[in-house]
A = this chain, B = another copy of it.
Amino acid sequence: MSKEKVVLAYSGGLDTSVCVKWLQDEKNLDVVCVCGNVGQEEIGLDAKKQKALDLGVLDCQVLDLRDEFSDEFLTKAIAANSMYENKYPLLSALSRPLLAKKLVEVAHEFGATYVAHGCTGKGNDQVRFEAAVKALDPELKVIAPVREWDLKCRPDEVAYAHAHNVPVPEGANDNPYSIDDNLWGRAIECGHLEDPWNEPLDDAWVMTKNPEDTPDAPTYTEIEFEAGKPVAVDGKKMKLSEIVIALNKISGDNGFGRLDLVEDRLVGLKSRECYEVPGALTLITAHKALEDICVEGDLLKTKIKLEQDWATAVYNGQWYSPLKNALDAFMADTQKFVTGTVRLKFFKGNCHVVGRKSPFSLYDYGLATYDRDTTFDEKASAGFIEIDTLSLKTWAKVQGPSSAAAQA
């Protein structure tokens, strides 16, 4: 009788390699590996696939997800100016649901009963994986080996690997940080950074140059958007994945895109995180500037608040959820006229918007200019103020600072 099957989110690193063995030995399952390319830095996918096959997995599927990631996930993140707690443009929270979707698809293909991931029990990613899997197939069961096993630290894992003939990557212990990265950026945790009073060391940063080592002259770049979606850089039409890569390069070379912050994890604790998000931060900066001229003011103010709801939902693993769907519908409606060009100036870690234009711009020179005698009817302002402050005036008489009530 054949064994039950599990589809594992496999990165080729130590954790998920040990997971393969553990699922085979402890759970008596046939393992199918899925290795998704969402643009992470060093991938060596062929070697990783061979390593999985050597461990006796049923299959190891290597999937290039960069365009699906860009077109389905980053586009929505840009529309929502994705910024968790108004400071962090999301990263793993965007790639995990896509990886989970692929796990579910492969599970259906192989008739698997389980999916598995290599996330720890202290992070957000376990929730994002499992929430996405449940949303896409509530009948699939999830195994989280790292949460379940008794390997308490990296040396334990290395020992287990040696004992079970799992190859240990050279230098597996060399990187002092825990890293997750994709097209949209790179997260750096652990080590020296776990004291939020410590300044990050130079070795933390890979995608972005130290501003001290960047060009002494500014770099200007223009980004074009159509209906909220980036479509060209410096006049050259490109697909979104290429645009992100191009901007990661331009911004990173100019030292822009480093974040150092403390955020609130879903599991109830505060965590110090450093991020390199040069392309992401550039695109969001430019997109906001274009919205400033293309989105009407009352809508803009409501959108700014809902952006926080969107980012929190996605951070918390609700990519596939009715709340996120409805927020996406709102966001999509706001993007119809977000078409135009933003001009950016990079210089030694800075990225400043220095120009924006749009065929649908709501900026109206005739109204805005302080030259008098224009289309704006200044006499109307007296009436406007009369009515606009009427509620305040009524309040002032009865309850305000100079009222009898307040003085009592």
Contact = CB atoms under 8 A, between A and B. Distances in A.
Of A121, A381, A397, most buried by chain B (CB within 10 Å of CB) is A381
Contacts of A144: 381-382
Interface string A119-154: 011110011001100111110000010010001110
A131 B329 contact: no
A44 interface: no
Contacts of A359: 405
B194 A264 contact: no
A146 to B, nearest CB: 8
Interface stretch (A30-38, A66-74, A305-313): A305-313
Given A136-B401, A270-B292, A321-B392, A363 B196 contact: yes
A147 to B, nearest CB: 5
Contacts of A138: 393-394, 396-397, 400, 402
A135 B332 CA distance: 21
Given A138-B400, A270-B293, A127 B388 contact: yes
Most chain B C-beta atoms within 10 Å of own C-beta, residue among A189, A190, A354, A362: A362
A314 to B, nearest CB: 13
A165 interface: no
Contacts of A348: 211, 347-350
Given A200-B354, A348-B211, A379-B147, A368 B269 contact: yes
A261 to B, nearest CB: 6
A103 interface: no
Contacts of A353: 260-261
A257 to B, nearest CB: 11
A270 B362 CA distance: 7
Contacts of A216: 212
A345 interface: yes
Interface stretch (A18-26, A167-175, A229-237, A295-303): A295-303
A327 interface: yes
A42 interface: no
